[in-house]
Amino acid sequence: MPLIEVRGLKTYFYTEDGVVRAVNGVNFVIEPEKTLGVVGESGCGKSVTAFSIMGLVQSPPGKIDAGEIIYHRNGNATDLTQLNTKGREYRAIRGNEIAMIFQEPMTSLNPVYTIGNQIMEAIILHQRVGKKKAHKKATEMLRAVGIPIPEQRVDEYPHQLSGGMRQRAMIAMALSCNPALLIADEPTTALDVTIEAQVLELMNTLRKEFNAAIQFITHDLGVIAHMADDVVVMYLGKIVESASVKDIFHNTKHPYTQGLMNSIPSLATTKERLIPIKGVVPDPFDVPPGCGFEPRCPHAMDVCKEQIPMLKEVSSGHQVSCFLY
């Protein structure tokens, strides 16, 4: 049984300038103890999909217009879209059973509270323990994520930690209640490559140790190759390709995914120039009719300008949304 099933999810933002269809009919599954990679350029709906699962879409102007987010736990299925995001039931899930690591730790951590106090808050709320036990658990979590001298660091403030340490503290906070699903929203964007490699290795190790599933959001296909079991590629609020990580890299189908692949520098080839994807993601207030990728696609046909391609299975477990198939 899957851990999370997202069915036909539509998350829209109603603004004075018009409607932004940030997530527009998305379907995917997150399996227990597996990592799902979510790939795409900025503005493709990756983070909004994660916020929808977490119940963190700001309303107004945001709203889940349609679809289901089915969370399977202890033999029961709960549609998270039917829960009050500010109610007790959702709060019992958020941060406890489903946790999130945000993109920039310096803006996610409160500068006036110690690292320990911020980790303790979730432990006290969800595990019903006293401050002394929570402080001990916070120290243990900092040790688990590889922060040196955790007994000292637990009482320090975010500005006293390096960028890598702050990101590790965010991971410690997210894992403090042993969640079933950990959503990581580009957690290594602000880190240098050495620290990035350490954090990714740490997340892989902790996923196995805590038996957690991960939804890993990134624009970096190199990270996906290292982290993911399955991959969905998003463009303009829709999934354009979905497959195992092996198929995505060795049997790439959609022109957008091919474009992302061609944009990666490689030590294994002798290409002199990378081949970028022409143009930019369209203005969300002015989405072209038909296939959203048509204005940038080297294989565009007349039908692409008029009709929206549906996600179709082209081989076992491999789905593509393109008229080429």
Cα 259 to chain centroid, rounded? 21
pLDDT higher than threshold 90 for residue 215: yes
pLDDT higher than threshold 90 for residue 23: yes
**Backbone dihedral angles phi then psi of residue 71, each to the nearest 5 degrees:** -110, 120
Per-residue confidence (pLDDT) for residue 307, from 0 to 100: 92
pTM of the entire structure? 0.88
Contact 173, 100 (CB under 8 A): no
d(CA 96, CA 80): 14
Helix (H) or strand (E) holding 103: none
Query: Please, what sign has the CA dihedral across residues 101, 222, 258, 231?
Result: negative
Residue type, 280: V
**Backbone dihedral angles phi then psi of residue 106, each to the nearest 5 degrees:** -70, -30
Per-residue confidence (pLDDT) for residue 231, from 0 to 100: 95
Per-residue confidence (pLDDT) for residue 270, from 0 to 100: 67
**Backbone dihedral angles phi then psi of residue 169, each to the nearest 5 degrees:** -65, -40
pLDDT band at 92 (very low <50, low <70, confident <90, very high): confident
Contact 10, 64 (CB under 8 A): yes
Percent of all residues in the chain with a pLDDT value above 70, rounded to a whole number: 98
Helix (H) or strand (E) holding 243: strand 238-244
d(CA 213, CA 219): 20
pLDDT higher than threshold 80 for residue 182: yes
d(CA 72, CA 69): 10
Tokens of 303: 């039908």
Per-residue confidence (pLDDT) for residue 197, from 0 to 100: 83
Contact 214, 184 (CB under 8 A): yes
d(CA 163, CA 192): 9
Q: Helix or strand or coil: residue 44?
A: coil
Per-residue pLDDT of 124-164, as tens digits, reads: 888 888 899 999 999 988 888 888 899 999 999 999 988 78
DSSP codes of every residue in 109-146 = S-TTS-HHHHHHHHHHHHH---HHHHHHHHHHHHHHTT
Q: What is the mean pLDDT of residues 196-214?
A: 84
Tokens of 20: 């932004």
Per-residue confidence (pLDDT) for residue 67, from 0 to 100: 92
Cα 180 to chain centroid, rounded? 15
d(CA 168, CA 156): 14
d(CA 168, CA 84): 31
Per-residue pLDDT of 286-315, as tens digits, reads: 888 899 898 889 888 999 999 999 999 998
Per-residue pLDDT of 240-282, as tens digits, reads: 999 999 999 999 999 999 988 888 777 776 667 777 888 888 8
Tokens of 196: 């990035």
Contacts for 101 with CB less than 8 Å, ≥ 6 apart: 167, 170, 171, 174, 182, 183, 184, 185, 187
Per-residue confidence (pLDDT) for residue 200, from 0 to 100: 84
Percent of all residues in the chain with a pLDDT value above 90, rounded to a whole number: 41
Q: What is the mean pLDDT of residues 12-37?
A: 92
Per-residue confidence (pLDDT) for residue 190, from 0 to 100: 67
- Strand 35-39 vs strand 62-73: parallel, antiparallel, or unpaired? unpaired
d(CA 5, CA 53): 10
> Hey, which residues does 7 pair with through a beta bridge?
68
Q: Helix or strand or coil: residue 35?
A: strand
